[in-house]
A and B are shown apart, each in its own frame.
Chain A
């Protein structure tokens, strides 16, 4: 039972991080209808900036720089490439983001090399005991940070002018443009927000108990794809639920690995994709996605 509670707590905390990443992914999709395969590289860029800067300027300024850096990379991708790509099909745009991803990930992993970079976070490896249940302090901080960010994002999405512009654009590009919404700004903002969210997720994915930022960090980011898809690509609620489902499944599958040995070693890594496949078989649009209807 105690193991179960610990796994559940860890799963929720990791899941909140996947939700953060998936949220950025969904925001980009809603604003520009681009499926952003370069999301993993945004995350890696944010983490890399934090890892390289924290010995020089301290952790908190480095974190701010990392968030700003990832947001800038996202905005840059939108401004230099997505906006200028003159294509009709959105799957071609998705392939463009794959091209961007190949370049960024190759260069960043080359810079990282075989090192494991510490991010210099102040929490270290302390463990908090809630009754018999032991949880790493970093996990609690991750959950808190993700909760605050997601909450404020949803509030902004609902109540600020920027949020209204974003939702109007997602609803109908042309009408939004006619109402005086600057589509360029909306999509630029979406990419920057997605980058910033990814950078925060990168920080918490690389702290204790993970040793640090290394080549495999992109893989953690890739697990946010099934989170976004199984929740429904055009639904912010879906991203949150999807992230939690993926996080909890992964934690449980890895934690009870020995009882699940008939599924093979390392099932935890494959589990998010298994869940996604099952959900898609039953609901092709995802759990909360709007089913596409068309009228001729």
Chain B
């Protein structure tokens, strides 16, 4: 369970990233956070694994205040929260298997990982994860030889290999075309259901949020302006979140995938 209690974040340059956020995220939920760029979606998600550090309030993950974490506690926290990025963030010159094995770094000692002495189970797990996202045939390809959608699937496999309790996905489909976007979201949803991993996804496409989310959190200017199940969401909700009327580029389209 993740609990935001009056969480605020002011960046060193004075920008307020988060303003008094109060949100509780239950285990197994699939949450989509929507909002315009600059609304604080990324800051929200990155607070959970402390890639950014909120400056006030308290943030509880499994009943422990992670804002006090440093050193090995932080490593433990990051080991149980996997992250997926907009730009996939793979090491382009390394092969797919090595990229996926990087998901085990938090579980592996420094010496073992530097000497490539991964446990057999870990390598097995990495291969299994690649099979789950249907890209196992590419294990020895260099990451930069793959298409965008394939790279994002590799990064999902990396997160799976990490065996996290939470998955944070920061705009995972923003660099992909509509069919690939739906494919990636489908994998995320499937993993959420099969492994019961709490998943929090940042999106700015309304139709995708509606299609995949159990619950939607709307953000505007660092504040949560909507929080509720998808059933309560209508077009006017989005207009409220975005502070303007809905336009065509707020939709991803291509939902009728083949």
Chain B associates with chain A: no
